[in-house]
Amino acid sequence: MNVGAERSRDGGKIPATFLQPGASRFWLAVLLTGVGAGLGAAGLTRLLETIQHLAWSGSGTHILEAASHSGAWRRVLVLLGAGVAVAVGQFLLVRLSSGNGIDITTAIWFEAGRLPVVRTLASAALSVVVVGMGASLGREGAPKQAGAVVADLLSDRGRLSDEQRRLLVACGAGAGMAAAYGVPLGGALFALEVLRGMLALRLVLPALLASVVATAVSWIFLPDAPTYRLAHVTTTPGTLLWALLIGPVCGVAAVGYVRAVAWADRNKPSGARRFAAPILALGLLGVAAVKFPQLLGNGRDVSEILFGGAGLPLALLFSLLILKPAATLLCLGSGAPGGLFTPSLTFGALLGAALGGVGARLSPGASPGLCALLGAGAVLAATTQGPVSTVVLMMELTGQGRQFVAPLLLAVIAATLVSRAIEPRSIYDARLSDEEVRARLSAREPAPQ
């Protein structure tokens, strides 16, 4: 990486040791960011589980099981209620906050990490409410926003340079994600590779410290357990070949998904329509959930079924392959706040399982759970443009790795190469204009010698 790129406009640098001038303020801010991100993630996770339990009168962590035991009218009414919550939240945000909304990626790259505190925290709280009620969006958005706001406030307090603030906000967002999912190494790499766009050595230690502190703090309140249970899998030469075959398919599918996300974000309703759209969209989701309760929530339950090797009936699998991403785009396009990490992973798991179902006719030894896992990793890497962080995240999310890391690497590499050749955007660049995307890409490349 270009060392010059690590200098901020005001000359501030990321301190590599405690001995450099101003290093103590920066490292203290990193430590406190980890603590704040961990507490925020734990509190928001517990709030989401409480809302989910109240809305569905069931388990605090498994929305599919709870919704499946609910009547048809309950599914419709709860999702209509979520739409009303979004409409009311949008109205209050317009009334109470004069600042415009800004996502974390835009803030890091074009605003030196500065965020509108009130709007960002209010959006995080609102996303917890609507995701807990069943919106087809990810729950990681709120912890990421909370961690980023903590970092932004500490940057003001410590009078950090612009470059230090950019890194700290990325670390805060990654730490929030790490704490929410119990993935300290993956969260740190996600902060650097996906959000900051650099895997420079000087940036690694702050990201690691923030993520491991946040995760350790969250474990005081949240269980220390893998997010997904994985069926026993083994790697064979046929598995490696299968990974190379599905990787490009997942890369192309990821391009379509990213472009659909960008289109949905650009075409969000404005004016008075922003208050009616979420009620209509989430109400429609509730109607669809009468027949397909798997559409509710971020998709974690669906992915866990697929990773566990139980699989789904082929007709349902192919239906969800279309309907689940459509539900996510519907929620996103209506203006409902939420994350895209788990929905993207779930889309990949469905695609991998579908390809595995077709491939099983040609290669009967293919493991359904492994096919879903490879699809999830390949699509996630291609949609986030973060192959390294994705591999580590998949290992931490499942609590395993050795038995599938080789085919996963092949699938991730193939998918990322194909997707980058077609579409430079990631799902986190959806709000950026073409000019901003080009500026970001040029900033990530080393200066010519």
Model pLDDT, residue 9 = 38
If asked whether residues 109 and 246 sit together in one domain, one would say: no
Residue in 366, 363, 392, 364 with CA at minimum distance from that of residue 380:
392
Residue in 172, 218, 156, 180 with CA at minimum distance from that of residue 30:
172
Question: How many domains does the chain contain in total?
Answer: 2
Tokens read off for 98: 């004069």
- What's the rounded Cα separation, in Å, for the pair 445 and 105? 17
Structural domain includes residue 397: yes
Q: What is the pLDDT of residues 158-207, one digit of tens each?
A: 889 999 999 999 999 999 999 999 999 999 999 999 998 888 888 999 99
Structural domain includes residue 2: no
Model pLDDT, residue 358 = 75
If asked whether residues 35 and 133 sit together in one domain, one would say: yes
- What's the rounded Cα separation, in Å, for the pair 432 and 417? 21
Q: Which domain holds residue 257?
A: 237-443
Which stretches of the chain drop beneath a pLDDT of 70?
Answer: 1-12, 58-61, 96-101, 359-366, 440-449
Model pLDDT, residue 12 = 66
Contacts with 173 (C-beta within 8 Å, 6 or more apart), sequence order: 104, 144, 145, 147, 148, 151, 191, 195
If asked whether residues 105 and 27 sit together in one domain, one would say: yes
For 16, half-sphere exposure in the C-beta direction (CA atoms, 13 angstrom radius) is 6
Structural domain includes residue 333: yes
Model pLDDT, residue 201 = 81
The pTM for the full model equals 0.90
If asked whether residues 74 and 110 sit together in one domain, one would say: yes
Coil vs helix vs strand at 187: helix
If asked whether residues 133 and 41 sit together in one domain, one would say: yes
Residue 59, judged by CB atoms within 10 A of its CB (0-12, 13-18, 19+), counts as: middle
Domain limit, last residue, from 161, 183, 218: 218
If asked whether residues 245 and 273 sit together in one domain, one would say: yes
DSSP 364: T
If asked whether residues 158 and 282 sit together in one domain, one would say: no
Q: Is the dihedral of CA 149, 153, 154, 158 positive or negative?
A: positive
If asked whether residues 247 and 162 sit together in one domain, one would say: no
Secondary-structure breakdown of the chain: helix, strand, coil percentages, each rounded to the nearest 5: 70, 0, 30
CATH code of the domain containing 315: 1.10.3080.10
Domain limit, last residue, from 218, 246, 264: 218
Structural domain includes residue 7: no
Model pLDDT, residue 4 = 37
DSSP output for 54-117: HHHSS-SS-HHHHHHTS-HHHHHHHHHHHHHHHHHHHHHHHHH--SPP--HHHHHHHSTT---H
